[in-house]
Structure 1
């Protein structure tokens, strides 16, 4: 018997920000991993597999609302469940 819960399929684009239209709470009930150029990243805020980019915080810089400034890093993106 398989006792693992069914996991929803990972979308092409996903964000951890609840205000984003690309946020999906059901996916974050499971542990999601992101690889960029075959190297796992732990600081990803948003990704897009088809366009080949991830967004990560740009150091300690903040915008005027107190959110971290994001920078886009391009490469081969893979999303997976851990």
Structure 2
């Protein structure tokens, strides 16, 4: 019996930006959840489990390309499929 809903293993570092070298398209076919220090975050742009940080968009500041600036939050990071 084969599992038709098999999901790829979540990488240690993942980015939601398709221009990043840490972008893995196969992972984004499934819903991903991120917890930082036990609190679930819904607006994470990039994470690294081994280094213990996540990047979230700034609510107001934009970079020169018009994209939101990213704020780095540090702590215990956990990635999971939800």
Shorter-chain TM-score: what band? over 0.9
Match of 1:8 in 2: 8
SS of residue in 2 equivalent to 1:18: coil
Shift of 1:3: 5.7
What pairs with 1:24-43 in structure 2 (closer than 5 Å)? 24-43=24-43
TM-score normalised by structure 2 residue count: 0.94
Structure 2 portions without partners, runs of 5+ = none
Give the length in aligned residue pairs.
82
TM-score normalised by structure 1 residue count: 0.94
Structure 1 portions without partners, runs of 5+ = none
Displacement over 6 Å in runs of 4+: none
